[in-house]
Amino acid sequence: MKLVTRDNLERWAETNFSKGDLPYLISRLVRATTPASTLSDFPSGSASFVGGWDGVVTCEEKYCLCSKRNFII
């Protein structure tokens, strides 16, 4: 059983709603896959339409998915 298909993602990506929610989903993914001490800041909703970096991740310990440093996305 597929919960989400490629077509579902393509249709969602074409909506304005997706542009505000993708940063939120990325933030949730970062939080779910890194240590609890990891800090992340991904503006979402209407704040995602402001220019500049999409997000910042600060990981204070070496982890399999990120090294010990800041990431600017």
Q: What is the pLDDT along the chain (73 residues), one digit of tens a residue?
A: 678 899 998 998 899 888 888 888 888 888 888 888 888 888 877 666 677 777 888 877 666 555 556 555 5
DSSP state of 63: B
Query: Which pLDDT score, from 0 to 100, does residue 57 have?
Result: 82
- The reply to whether the predicted model has a pTM over 0.85 is no
Query: Which pLDDT score, from 0 to 100, does residue 25 have?
Result: 85
Q: What is the residue type of 55?
A: G
Under 8 Å between Cβ of 59 and 69: yes
Q: Which tokens hold the place of 49? A: 């339409």
Query: Which pLDDT score, from 0 to 100, does residue 37 have?
Result: 82
Rounded to whole angstroms, what are the CA distances from 55 to 24, 40, 52, 59? 10, 7, 9, 13
Query: Which pLDDT score, from 0 to 100, does residue 7 have?
Result: 92
